[in-house]
Amino acid sequence: MATKGAGMANKGPSYGLSRQVQDKIDSKYDPELEQILVEWISRQCSSGVGKPEPGKQGFQAWLKDGCVLSELINSLFAGEKPVKKIQSSPMAFKQMEQISQFLNAAEKYGVTKTDMFQTVDLWEGKDLAAVQRTLSALGSLAVTKDEGTYKGDPNWFFKKAQENKRDFSDEQMKAGKNVIGLQMGSNKGASQEGMSYGRPRQIL
């Protein structure tokens, strides 16, 4: 797949506050993580996806049409592939559609909504750190699930904590209701006996 030009969406320069906000977002982008993600995606999808120019704009241009992302998510599903049609297109809406197919499939795979980037984060280059976050979450899930589809180095991503479900019997649940946490305090057994409030009022 030929690497497309690294041209960002033509929004013109931003000034003042929007410039500061954009600088802050840009500062969260991690060039080291970019190298890991590129290496993983290349291994995961085989050589067909190529590799981008180093740097944020190269990374964005590589992923912008959604095809590489769709190849990536399909490679993590052992059975039926979630993205049925992967087709490169010069048309913006087609590229955005391909990205959103990746996002839907990633959610189906188990990436939480809070870890998801928005289509414009990638397509317009608004927040590529968010794109990195989504791909890292996907990598962590793939390592954690350990279904034999992950083709990278397991040390590249953190294993996600597995849910530790506990089944309690009804008796245990009832017993638990009778325990009152000390920090809550208790008024059981308390009465006003023996309390006096000074001299009774004299009614004349």
By the 8 A CB rule, do 3 and 50 touch?
yes
> Above 80 in pLDDT, residue 110?
yes
pLDDT at position 105: 97
Q: Which of 64, 89, 65, 84 is nearest to 74 (CA)?
A: 84
Every domain of the chain and the residues it spans = 19-145
What would the mean pLDDT of 1-10 be, rounded to a whole number?
A: 44
What would the mean pLDDT of 100-113 be, rounded to a whole number?
A: 96
- Show the tokens assigned to 119: 């289509």
- Show the tokens assigned to 203: 């009614």
Average pLDDT, the chain: 81
> Above 90 in pLDDT, residue 181?
no
For the stretch 116-157, pLDDT in tens is: 999 999 999 999 999 999 999 999 999 999 898 999 888 898
Query: Cβ neighbours of residue 202 under 8 Å, at least 6 residues apart?
Result: none
pLDDT at position 27: 72
**Cα separation of 123 and 69, whole Å?**
12
From the CB of residue 50, how many other CB atoms can be counted at a distance below 10 Å? 13
DSSP notation for the chain = -PPPP-PPP------HHHHHHHHHHHHT--HHHHHHHHHHHHHHH-GGG--PPSSHHHHHHHHTTSHHHHHHHHHT-SSS-S-------SSHHHHHHHHHHHHHHHHHHT--GGGPPPHHHHHS-S-HHHHHHHHHHHHHHHHHH--S---S-GGGSPPPPPP------HHHHHHHHT---GGG---TT---TT---SSPPP--
pLDDT at position 39: 94
Q: Which of 48-62, 101-115, 180-194 has the lowest mean pLDDT?
A: 180-194
Q: What is the pTM of this model?
A: 0.68
pLDDT confidence band for 177 (50 / 70 / 90): low
**Cα separation of 120 and 188, whole Å?**
59
For the stretch 11-66, pLDDT in tens is: 555 566 666 766 666 678 899 999 999 999 999 998 789 899 999 999 999 999 99
The fold of the 19-145 domain, in CATH, is Actin-binding Protein, T-fimbrin; domain 1 (1.10.418)
By the 8 A CB rule, do 141 and 125 touch?
no
